[in-house]
Amino acid sequence: MWGGRFDQPPAETARAFTRSYPVDRRMYREDIVASRAHAAMLGRRGIIAAASADALTAELDRLLDELTAAGGPPPDADDEDIHSFVERVLTERLGDDGRRLHAARSRNDQVATDFRLYCKGLTLRLAFALLDLLDVVVRRAGDEAHTAAPGFTHLQAAQPVTLGHYLLSLYEMHARDVQAALHAFTVADVCPLGSGALAGVPFDIDRDGAADELRFSQVSRNSMDAVADRDFVGALLHACTQLTGHASRWCEDLVVWSSPGFGLVRFDDRYATGSSMLPQKLNPDIAELSRGKAGAVMGAAAGWHATIKGVPLAYGLDMQEDKRTVFRVEDDVLPMLAALRGALDTLRVDRGRMAAAAQAGHPEALEIADYLTERGAPFRDAHQAAGRLVLLAESQGVTLGQLDDAAFAGVDDRLPGEVRARLDLARMVARRTSLGGTAPTRVLEEAGRARRWLTWQRQHLEGLAVRGLPPQLQPRAPSPAAAGADGDAA
């Protein structure tokens, strides 16, 4: 493709080091679709003959069908990259017409166009996979709306909550991740095709027409920035870093909760592993590996930002590391989301142990302080009174509710009597009715709102896929997670 200026071919070690075909061959659909739009534009503008453009578009369609049926380009092809592979095949089949395809185009704007298309598709795949996970999260939140559970701060018992409330906190996290993925889609939705190597091209090209065919919402306004810009990669990596960080936090909860010291949940056999030596083991490896993937994704994102910060405008070959980074992250994140969906869908909850854990650590103390506050005591005085009762209960080895009336009256004469009725676990949880609170009534309301949002968001994503991606690049099938649950939780 560029050998005319050179007397010697590249050294084998240099070629092996610089070629990217083994990595970027997965972008064959995007390259063919973008090349087709470019060829059609060249024909419309008379830059190449209409017959040549027709031959190119027909052969590109045929090549896309062939490679799709074969599961992609051959892994052992000797081409420099996927772009040279496509052009070589066209030239072998069409002769000079194949060699005409690259008029008014550089690999710089070609690569940027292809990769933006790929990243737009990936952001939608991520968003759909997140919705698949959230379907399970919200369903289980409704199922566990009345299940008392321990709420922790500093990993110490703090306040009783409902398990449904906890699960809806995961919904809130990952709903933000859906929005981050959609933001990455928007950042990628700019067409650089027609920018050339960095200075634009001298031909009378139709950039808007090509962008419309590729379903970009706008074209780039500066040719240097168009080939240099990889902010869309940063936005995508940020979305993946955020979502894996979120998943890692609640996976850590599940690892702790499934340990013998807690015993609050149990992973289904299909989403756990054993030990090669210890017959009794049931390991929460899905959750543990998800924590590990979070670290890998964060590292990949940091590595990419360290790479791009040193590349002078407009282009350097270091920038081809963007694809290796994004593909690695994709291969970590999408299977992780599918596995977590199955693990959470089949997770077994020990509601009795949940309730017992929710009552540990004197959670009634705040209820007592609130009771005194409602009767006129300054909250700081009420806080101290409740704290003195905790010390007294610990010295006697009893719960706050087991202290006698004399103990209560000795701290504050407003305490004996009806306060005891408020120390019941279910009542403590049910009283937290403020907007966003843990009361079962609130959980059921929020679960309903979440279900409505998921329905709307899925419809929005489906519409965005149609509007924002060419037909050949539409999502081909549901993610593995979308196939449905492998079993029912108990």
The catalytic residue positions are 154, 275
Q: How far apart (Å, rounded) are the C-alpha atoms in residues 8 and 404? A: 95
Residue type, 292: G
Burial of 477 (0-12, 13-18, 19+ CB in 10 A): exposed
The tokens for 402 are: 């087991």
Cα(401)–Cα(419) distance, integer angstroms? 10
Q: Give the residue among 468, 437, 455 at the shortest CA–CA distance from 135.
A: 455
Strand 265-266 and strand 348-349: the pairing is antiparallel
What gap in Å lies between CA 190 and CA 233, rounded to an integer?
13
Q: Cα angle at 458 between 455 and 459, to 5 degrees?
A: 85
Residue of 140, 165, 135 lying closest to 440 (CA atoms): 165
Instruction: Name the one residue in this structure whose structure tokens are 């149990």.
Output: 266
Using the structure block, give the residue that is written with the tokens 């399970």: 136
Supply φ then ψ for residue 366, to 5 degrees. -65, -35
In degrees and rounded to multiples of 5, residue 226 shows phi and psi of -60, -40
Q: Say which amino acid occupies 273.
A: T
